[in-house]
Amino acid sequence: MLWLLVFFLVPFFVLGRISLAEVMIARPPYSPLWDRAADGTLNIIASLDNYRFLLADALYRNAYLSSIGIAFTSTVFALLIGYPIAYYVARSPEPRRTILLLLVILPFWTSFLLRVYAWIGFLQREGLINSTLMMLGVIDTPLVLMQTTLAVQIGIVYTYLPFMILPLYANLVKLDDQLLEASADLGAGPVTTFLTVTLPLSVPGIIAGCMLVFIPAIGEYVIPALLGGPDTLMIGRVLWDEFFSSRDWPVAASVAIVMLFLVVAPIMWLQSWLDRRGLNQ
């Protein structure tokens, strides 16, 4: 509770207070929420104008929709790639399992910024991917990979893939082998056993992995800034521009508060759904 109070509730209330203010050329660059008149009357300055501005401006709506779309697509691809890896690691015997887990965690030993920069060498016009495809005769002219939405999705999937694999592995490694044996004894093949036993029991791991990828991806700034182009509109870039370029802290705080609710609302719904299904263990 102390951790949540200091690192979540206090910043949340600070942002909420700024979002109700008006922008000012001052330090700090926003107005107080109230002041006292000469006769001692307390005047409330707080308003919801910043939130009305967000709803009326198409730029912010498009940024939210684009961020949700990119984060959702990246999460789906991370799940499709991460689930087979996690399943293979969980089913592997020791000591191979430890080595495979080490390989999954190994990218964390390198700077996040360097790992994203490395993809520029792969995706640029004269990069490794285009050079290999042209050498094999698959393409005649280089593909446009850099500064695209695809490049951003590749960067997000690569960066957050371990966050998908580790919760799935933690869930799959605890799977009781006797359940799989019972399914085989009853005549189910490997595919049927996977769809009726393994996959339903791994739903909590799937949900945990998806949340660990989707939540940071929706507010990602570094990857779109390095790999994306001017058409790649994400809410993290909008926040940066409002805070540091426009110096409009009240609007930036409003953007952050709305994004928080857009992320928290689905999480609360999933939490309720898991509790009703008895899967939140």
Dump pLDDT digits (tens) for 224-265. 989 988 778 888 888 888 888 888 889 999 998 988 888 887
Q: Please, what is the average pLDDT of the chain?
A: 87
pLDDT at 281 exceeding the cut of 70: no
Residue 54: its pLDDT value, please?
87
What does DSSP assign to residue 28?
S
Report, as an integer, the average pLDDT of 201-214. 91
Return the percentage of the chain with pLDDT > 70, whole number: 97
Binned at pLDDT 50, 70 and 90, residue 142 comes out as confident
Highest mean pLDDT among 12-16, 80-84, 109-113, 194-198: 80-84
Report, as an integer, the average pLDDT of 29-50. 77
- The span from the CA of 239 to the CA of 63, in Å, is 10
For residue 156, the one-letter residue type is: I
Instruction: Match 């409330």 to its residue by tokens.
Output: 44
What does DSSP assign to residue 30?
B
Query: What SS3 state is found at 221?
Result: coil
Report, as an integer, the average pLDDT of 172-199. 89
Q: Are the C-beta atoms of residues 201 and 121 closer than 8 Å to each other?
A: no
Q: For the CA atoms of 127, 153, 65, 212, what is the dihedral angle to 10 degrees?
A: -150
Report, as an integer, the average pLDDT of 24-37. 78
Residue 162: its pLDDT value, please?
94
Reading the block at residue 87, the tokens are 């399943």
Strands 34-36 and 42-44: antiparallel
The crossing angle, in degrees rounded to 10, of helices 58-91 and 203-218 is 140
Residue 48: its pLDDT value, please?
86
Nearest to 167 by CA among 89, 269, 277, 96: 89
147 dihedral zone (left: phi>0; alpha: psi -120 to 50; beta): left
Report angle CA 256, 162, 260 to the nearest 5 degrees: 15
Which tops the pLDDT comparison, 281 or 61?
A: 61
Full-model pTM:
0.86
Helices of type H across the chain: 2-4, 10-19, 49-56, 58-91, 96-105, 112-123, 128-135, 149-172, 177-185, 190-193, 199-201, 203-218, 222-227, 235-240, 249-277
* Side-chain half-sphere CA neighbours of 217 within 13 A: 31
Report, as an integer, the average pLDDT of 1-28. 85
Q: Are the C-beta atoms of residues 47 and 20 closer than 8 Å to each other?
A: yes
Q: How far from 249 is each of 62, 207, 211, 221, CA to CA, in Å?
A: 20, 34, 28, 18
pLDDT at 59 exceeding the cut of 90: no
Binned at pLDDT 50, 70 and 90, residue 127 comes out as confident
Reading the block at residue 251, the tokens are 């609007």
